[in-house]
Chains A and B, each alone.
Chain A
Amino acid sequence: MSNNIDLKRGLDIPVAGLADPVVAKRVVSDRIAVQPCNFKGLLPRLLVREGDSVAAGSPVLADKKNPDIIVTSPVSGTVVEIIRGDKRKLLAVVIEPDEKQKHMDFDTSAGFSDADTVKKTLLASGLWTAIVQRPYGIIADPATKPKAIFVSTFSTAPLAPDTSFTLGGEKDAMQMGLNALSTLTDGKVHVCVNDGDSPFAGFSGVETHVVRGKHPAGNVGVQISHIDPITKGDTVWTINPTLVCAIGRLFKTGKLNLWRKIAVCGPAAIEPSYIEALPGTPMKSLKGFYGADTKDVRIISGDILSGATTGEDGFTGFFDTQVTIIREGHDEELFGWLRPFRFNQYSADRTYFNWCLGWLMPGRRYNMDTNLHGGPRAFVMNDSHYARVLPMDIYPLYLFKACLAGDIEKMERFGIYEVLPEDLALCEYIDPSKNNIQSIINDGIELMLKEMA
């Protein structure tokens, strides 16, 4: 069964640097990092010490609140460094891979007979951490049964990798992963595709939805709000398609295999294309994509709206399948906002005339940088200005203000359960008042977590 959802609101930011659909290389790095900060809600307890050797799939970190939840190493090798930040906050466990990879063997002979065995296997392999629980976008709680599980098989984020290229050949693994996931819920597993002809449209045992529209149509949060909205007391789980494949591979082979295709893209990327790499691959091993001068580029694990700045010394994230390289916009622009036309800058606002330019030069992409293009102000534009890019049934400005005020009741009323910061990233992008809306939402979510605990 397939349902169609057509979303009118949204915005595709025409940023240059789309990755060519070819795999440039398989990056075998001499360092792989396990980063606890990738997992929201994880209170990490270190299980290894410098010098310990680990196999692919052996535990590196455990959650202090729920020791069943562990984070495992994607490679076999030796722990060479434990990186800590301010107040000794654990940032990364760096593992030097062995020449010859050893894998932990997980018993998957029981198949998908019942939820408990599936759960046990996922927890032991560390792939449990791939499941994100909403509301709040935290690691799923193994003790709960979610109302439904959602998988968005495509991303509409700027320069996002094309999943039919990255995962199109792994349909079997994905079907297997979906079978495993469907044991975990009494409700449905919803799979969203962007086209009826998508390679991911024909999975069995799931409900397929065709969602068409501009960004954020591919965000699973937006899809949930149109399929089965989250209300107070609901729990749903989401998981990204790359990790569904990893789960499928786990059940097929009994081994943890996190290799994935990562798009290295962005206006400052040299010959943007795809690589094959593990999560936690150091950005330094992607040097060929950003050149020698790193002073003026920003390296982001993820997309330009919600990704994390890692810098040259950082690593790719556990959930990310995209590395974006973009120029830092330190230049002043004389009479910038006063010029009648600013054809080299993109604006979705009609006060610039790029929307006319769109008719003349369709498909034009802009060489964007990280300039803020203004200064911080109070919110001036009204709610519907932000709602233009948010295809969800909520009032965004009211939600921002409720979060700023820390008013729990109002946050609940205006839909804090339905959103994650990434869903409102476009509101932040178009905001002429240059507020950090994703931080505002994130602070709201942190407050909810604290108060609801």
Chain B
Amino acid sequence: MNKIFEKGGKLYWLHSTADAFQTFLAVPGTVTGRGAHVRDAVDLKRIMIIAVISVVPALLFGIWNTGYQHSLAIGATPLFWEDVWYGLLKIIPLYLVSYVVGLAIEFASSQIRGEEVNEGYLMTGMLIPLIVPADVPLWMLAIAVAFSVIFVKEVFGGTGMNFLNPALFTRAFLFFSYPNDMSGSQSWISLRKDEALIDGATGATPLSFTTDGFDALQSAGAQYGTGFWDFFFGAIPGSVGETCVIAILLGAFILIWTGVASWKIMLSSVAGALLVGGLANLAGASDIPCHYHLVMGGFAFGTVFMATDPVTSAQTEAGKWIYGFLIGAICVTVRLFNPGYAEGMMLAILLGNCFAPLIDHCVISVHLNRKSRKSKLA
């Protein structure tokens, strides 16, 4: 590296930053010191870039859908490239804020700790704009990102030491601090300043109607379809990246195929949602068919991209089944029984994050006790 960035050099206070850019371009010529003399070609940069790529389909769809929902809501004829352009104008600023604020804090804290910059924020910063409404005021986003990166991640020691998912916490921060901008019928469709919804159009996501029953859900969208396959395709209002289940499944395929994320968590989360939803159907508590929960709101996005975060999810294989199941089950429970707050996924995952160490502790205790009993018998 350039001399001025080395210890004692003029720009030593920027050494983490310089190192981050340099290692971004080229794998450094560092050789192994202690321990194994050869190391696998994989590093965290590779794992993170795969994770980032897996989100791209959802992002691309989100860009188009933001414009498309806007066109529908103001009664204009949707034109593909116009919708994409509208979406781009909305979403690029979200990304700028997310990455500039987040990375600045990340670089500064790495500098303070004297460490190299961890790649974790590449993924966090990619996810944040996708789980907020497109019209969220940028200053709010900036505050939320800053709060979450500092207090959820850096105070614990940076990526790998955090126990909550920082991207999700950003959303939770926005939700609890600025509820007016984050819920209700106005926030989920992006509009220009002087525009208003046309008569008959609704800005609410279908999720707001889950406690009102299946009929209410079916008639939720005046201007958009509300069948199962409409939700599956995702041309409905919602957070930027959460609506299209096809794009999310594509991401899930990439994550599972490359082994970056755990299929066990995804599968058990789906199982948990179906079970609670199915039980509610049987008990007559809700007439929304349980498989609708898989395609509505943030369930799919959360299950695939947020619950599977290797740092904050359960660590053990058995723990992953329990953890995923818990998230799916809590999510649908909240949706069905809490009229005030429709989207259970965010809090379900944050709760799952909090419980993950406990789940692992129990799994390991049970396992070790069984092991010591076995060795005593032998």
Write the residues of chain A forming the contact surface with B, with a CB cutoff of 8 angstroms.
Answer: 13, 15, 158, 228-229, 231, 298, 300, 304-307, 309, 324, 326, 328-338, 342, 345-352, 368-385, 387, 393, 395, 397-398, 413, 421, 425, 428-434, 436-439
Contact = CB atoms under 8 A, between A and B. Distances in A.
A438 B34 contact: yes
B310 interface: yes
Contacts of B320: 384
Contact of A372 (B32, B316, B371): B32
A337 B310 contact: no
A266 B42 CA distance: 21
Interface in B24-77: 25-47, 49-50
A448 B317 CA distance: 29
29 contacts: A158-B38, A228-B378, A229-B371, A332-B27, A334-B26, A335-B26, A336-B41, A337-B27, A337-B49, A346-B40, A347-B42, A349-B46, A350-B258, A351-B50, A370-B38, A371-B31, A374-B27, A375-B19, A375-B28, A376-B115, A395-B315, A395-B364, A398-B315, A428-B39, A431-B39, A432-B46, A434-B43, A438-B34, A439-B34
Contacts of A349: 40-42, 46-47, 259
Contact count band on B: 35 or more
Nearest to B371: A393
Contacts of B317: 384, 387
A370 B44 contact: no
B184 interface: no
B120 interface: yes
A377 B257 contact: no
A426 to B, nearest CB: 8
Contacts of B257: 350
B5 to A, nearest CB: 14
Interface string B11-26: 0000000010001011
A413 B368 contact: yes
A336 B40 CA distance: 13
Interface in B246-290: 257-260, 262
Given A351-B46, A371-B39, A380-B160, 11 more contacts: A300-B37, A332-B29, A337-B43, A346-B40, A350-B258, A377-B119, A382-B311, A384-B317, A393-B371, A437-B35, A438-B36
Contacts of B33: 436
A321 B39 CA distance: 22
Contacts of B49: 337-338
A374 B40 CA distance: 9
Given A330-B29, A384-B315, A351 B39 contact: no
| Interface of A (DSSP majority class) | loop
Nearest to A393: B371
B55 to A, nearest CB: 15
B163 to A, nearest CB: 13
**Closest CB pairs A-B (n = 4):** A374-B43, A378-B160, A336-B27, A345-B41
| Interface of B (DSSP majority class) | loop
B53 to A, nearest CB: 10
B159 to A, nearest CB: 6
Nearest to A380: B160
Contacts of A376: 115-116
Contact of B36 (A231, A305, A377): A305
A373 B30 CA distance: 8
Contacts of B372: 231
Nearest to A355: B259
A319 to B, nearest CB: 17
B46 A337 contact: yes
A371 B27 contact: yes
B237 interface: no
B41 A428 contact: no
A385 B314 CA distance: 12
B26 A385 contact: no
Given A375-B30, A378-B158, A438 B35 contact: yes
B339 interface: no
A430 B352 CA distance: 28
A383 B159 CA distance: 16
Contacts of B111: none
A383 B160 contact: no
B208 interface: no
Contact of A305 (B37, B47, B157): B37
A324 B32 CA distance: 15
A386 to B, nearest CB: 10
B313 interface: yes
A436 B36 CA distance: 8
Given A229-B375, A373-B42, A380-B120, A332 B26 contact: yes
Contacts of A381: 47, 310
A383 B28 CA distance: 27
B140 interface: no
Nearest to A331: B29
Contacts of B183: none
Nearest to A342: B41
B118 interface: yes
Contact of B25 (A304, A309, A335): A335
B258 A429 contact: no
A336 B26 contact: yes
B45 A337 contact: yes
A371 B316 CA distance: 31
B254 to A, nearest CB: 10
A348 to B, nearest CB: 6
A436 B31 CA distance: 12
A326 B37 contact: yes
A441 to B, nearest CB: 10
B47 A351 contact: yes
Contact of A347 (B19, B40, B364): B40
A372 B44 contact: no
Contacts of B46: 337, 349, 351-352, 432
Contacts of B43: 337, 373-375, 432, 434
Interface in B322-378: 360, 364, 368, 371-372, 375, 378
A297 B261 CA distance: 38
B35 A369 contact: no
Nearest to B50: A351
Which of B34, B120, B320 has most A Cβ within 10 Å?
B34
B102 to A, nearest CB: 17
B41 A346 contact: yes
Given A332-B27, A384-B317, A378 B38 contact: no
Contacts of B4: none
Nearest to A350: B259
B159 A378 contact: yes
A158 to B, nearest CB: 8
Contact of A333 (B27, B38, B116): B27
B138 interface: no
Nearest to A228: B378
B161 interface: yes
A346 B41 CA distance: 6
Contact of B35 (A336, A383, A413, A428): A428
A437 B50 CA distance: 25
B38 A369 contact: yes
Contacts of B116: 375-377
A93 B34 CA distance: 25
Contacts of B40: 346-349, 373, 429-432
